[in-house]
Amino acid sequence: MERLEINNILNLDKLNSELEYEKAISIYGRLRWLVKENDSLKPVKKHLKGLIQQYEETHWKDETKISSEQIKESDIAEKIVTSENKFIQKRKELIRKKLRENGITQKDLAEILGHRPNYMSELINGIRPFSRDDLIVLHRLFGLDLNDLFPPFLKTEVTNHIKQILNELKNRRTKIKLRLTDLETT
């Protein structure tokens, strides 16, 4: 389970990387709107704000300590999060379009999938991940392309494992090669 999934945020005492920092900023932005619908998200939003401020204070406050490696890591993290956000926004627009075309509401969809309406909003807005079954139902119900429903991003630990193994295999002159974009994380 990802550290920055909504259920885990209140248990975090710090952000560990530029990627987590960028993801936290993204989630915080989405939570600003969802808190208006669901008060139970207020403590999560507040805690996330504290984590973001703590990370900035520790890693970005003193300009003399910011390295070119840190800037590079930040740029990569920002690109990854931007890609994820574009994917989530496109999926959200496709689902909403299908809801309108079929004359059903997001609340109706929540009922079909067996979720509470607030939870459905969190799914559509990318605050919580859809389950595999939810995505299959959306595919079958609306005829949406699976590539538009399933995020094509890998988890950080999967990416790190693959990079490690590929480095080991490189010494054996294997022909497997992946582009950096093939190893984007979530």
Read off the pLDDT of residues 25-64 as tens digits, 9 standing for 90 and up.
Answer: 999 999 998 998 888 999 999 999 999 999 999 999 998 9
**Count of CB atoms situated within 10 Å of the CB of 146:** 10
Q: Which residues pair with 185 in a beta bridge?
A: 154
pLDDT, tens only, 65-91: 999 999 999 999 999 899 999 999 999
Instruction: Give residue limits of the domains in the chain.
Output: 9-153, 154-186
- The DSSP code for 39 is G
Model confidence, pTM? 0.84
